[in-house]
Structure 1
Amino acid sequence: MHRARELLVRQRTQLINMMRGLLAELGIDIPEGIERALQMARQVVDGEAPEIPIAAVRIVGMLSQQILNIHAQLREIDRALAALARSDDVARRLTTIPGIGPVGATAMAASVADPGHFKSGRQFAAWLGLTPLQNSSGGKERLGRISKMGDRYLRKLLVIGATALVRYARSRPETANPHFIALLARKPVRVATVAMANKTARIVWAVMARGDVYRRTPEAMLAA
């Protein structure tokens, strides 16, 4: 299911970019974000979109319908993955980790059959490619960049989850994890996002290796 989902996500992105470009040429701008693009696609299909020249109505309508069709297929896959995450013990425990949803949890559970292959969460994060690159001039670590080793799909899911955590921490600092708030205060957003993805990977390993659920305590954070 994950390969099919990834393919559909790419196709939806390509179609949305194409629709954005075409409408921009016609003087119609779509605000950033998937939801705004989907809203425009629905308006086009329902005949409620801003005035579109007759010559472009057909192609814009075709693109909009394809976008909505693929989005519906993605929702169906996501529902299936959510059901799988509830029924699989490992995936269910992984969903207790902030930044890990059903998609990430089921992908991790399926890809990492034996977490005992890794000695620590740090080694697991390194396997995923979520490790700092060293500056060749002085050996200084730069956590804002990540290596290209490891499972690209799992790494991508962790970075997406970390991005959501960063967005939440910036919009609601009073309820966000203090660790994330402190990190954002010290580091640029991009660097903090990679650091959060690295930390999440280490917690993922701890949850899988110890057969436990995530608990937000200083001890749990350090143990990962």
Structure 2
Amino acid sequence: MKATVTLGIDLAKNSFSLHGISADGTVTIKKSVTRVNLAKFIAKLEPCLIGMEACAGAHYWARKFTHFGHEVKLMPPQYVKPYVKTNKNDAADAEAICEAVTRPNMRFVPAKSVDQQAILSVHRARELLVQSKTAQTNQIRGLLAEFGVVIARGRGPFKEQLPDIIEDASNELPCVIRETLQCLLELVEKLSKKITVLERTIQAWSRQSADASRLEQVLGIGPITASALVATVGNAKHFKNARQLAAWLGLVPRQHSTGGKTVLLGISKRGDGYVRKLLVHGARAVVSHSKRAKSGSSEWLNSLLETKHTNTAIVALANKNAPIAWALLTNQSEYVPQSN
């Protein structure tokens, strides 16, 4: 029997479809394996190239298969889809993965370490709690608006005014609404405490990471953004240049060019939306401070704000910080702010 040199695995919860080929393209493996038997089956194979989609569990299996001596490459699912020749099923997906992983122009996702996945899990948990807190706060505002009570925008007025509104007898709120609002307020406070705990965990991790501490020197990048960048990007040398990282994060213009005419649209918004959002929010804070206090701001940012819309300047600053982060991670150097 010919040796398997390339193996495509369609990941799932319990049943995994495998498609392997030899050096001359002959199909050597075409079967389904249960989760219990997958590791045992792969361990018995001679070292080969294994391709998988970068989905749930992919990084775990990548580390495990690499330990067995195989070369593992992860691919974005959207880049594998064009190689599916027939109707979608697990066997066809495995065959498509097996073919896609051998393409010379295929883009791959670096496998994450346990430490990277751990801190990113904290980030995802924090993000979910923040969304829950925001939704709960908006619900309270909506319920109060139904009874003619409106709280000013912002977390400060909400935190200060809501307890007084619940206790104020002159606003004619029914008792059942006061009890409901008190219950919801306690839930918001609990969510805030949980968010604080997770943020402290992220900050502690960021202080221990030399790369994250290096990124925090950049204006607009704090501990949360720095730790997310380091954990998501991993080895920055996987990117050929700084612009490739910015493009991977979806911060560069989207193209719709034809006939030799170049047309640039808004940012592509490809890649990791969470890291992109953090970079944009950090840039928004810098721009907001720059508009309030002209001193200390860079000439580049001030001139941009004079000629462009605020949101355009925010995205431009985020797009500028991403290449800076690539340079710091690649060269292992300290950040030196430019005078302009």
Sort the TM-score into its range (normalised by shorter chain): 0.7 to 0.9
* Cα shift at 1:37: 2.5
Instruction: Give the alignment partner of residue 199 of structure 1, picking from 317, 320, 337.
Output: 320
* Cα shift at 1:120: 1.6
Cα distance in 2, alignment partners of residues 50 and 182 from structure 1: 52
Which stretch shows the higher mean deviation, 172-181 or 150-159? Answer: 172-181
Cα distance in 2, alignment partners of residues 94 and 214 from structure 1: 8
- Asked whether 1:173 is paired with 2:290, we answer no
- Asked whether 1:64 is paired with 2:173, we answer no
- Paired letter, 2:128: L
Residue deviations 1:7-43 (CA, integer Å, cap 9, x gap) = 0011011011111111122222222223333334455
- Paired letter, 2:230: A
After TM superposition, the score normalised by the length of structure 1 is: 0.88
CA RMSD of aligned residues (A): 2.2
Name the residue aligned to 1:113: 234
Within 5 Å, which residues of 2 pair with 1:34-113? 34-41=155-162, 43=164, 47=167, 51=171, 53-54=173-174, 55-113=176-234
* Cα shift at 1:115: 0.3
Question: Secondary structure of 2:211's partner?
Answer: helix
Gaps of 5+ in 2: 1-121
Residue deviations 1:57-111 (CA, integer Å, cap 9, x gap) = 0111112111111011111111121111111111111111111111111111111
Question: Secondary structure of 1:133's partner?
Answer: strand
Query: CA 1:8/1:203 → structure 2, altered by over 3 Å: closer, same or farther?
Result: same
Name the residue aligned to 2:250: 129
Residue deviations 1:171-199 (CA, integer Å, cap 9, x gap) = 11122222211111111011111111111
Name the structure where strand makes up a greater proportion of residues: 2
- Asked whether 1:140 is paired with 2:263, we answer yes
* Cα shift at 1:52: 5.7
Contact 2:206/2:213, CA 8 A, preserved across alignment = yes
Query: RCO greater where, 1 or 2, for CA within 8 Å and sep 6 or more?
Result: 1
Question: Secondary structure of 1:53's partner?
Answer: coil
Cα distance in 2, alignment partners of residues 107 and 7 from structure 1: 15
Name the structure where helix makes up a greater proportion of residues: 1
Which stretch shows the higher mean deviation, 31-40 or 209-218? Answer: 31-40
Cα distance in 2, alignment partners of residues 141 and 78 from structure 1: 38
Gaps of 5+ in 1: none
Q: Percent identity?
A: 36
After TM superposition, the score normalised by the length of structure 2 is: 0.59
Name the residue aligned to 2:102: none
Cα distance in 2, alignment partners of residues 203 and 19 from structure 1: 41
Query: CA 1:105/1:48 → structure 2, altered by over 3 Å: closer, same or farther?
Result: farther
Contact 2:236/2:329, CA 8 A, preserved across alignment = yes
Contact 1:135/1:141, CA 8 A, preserved across alignment = yes
Question: Secondary structure of 2:254's partner?
Answer: strand
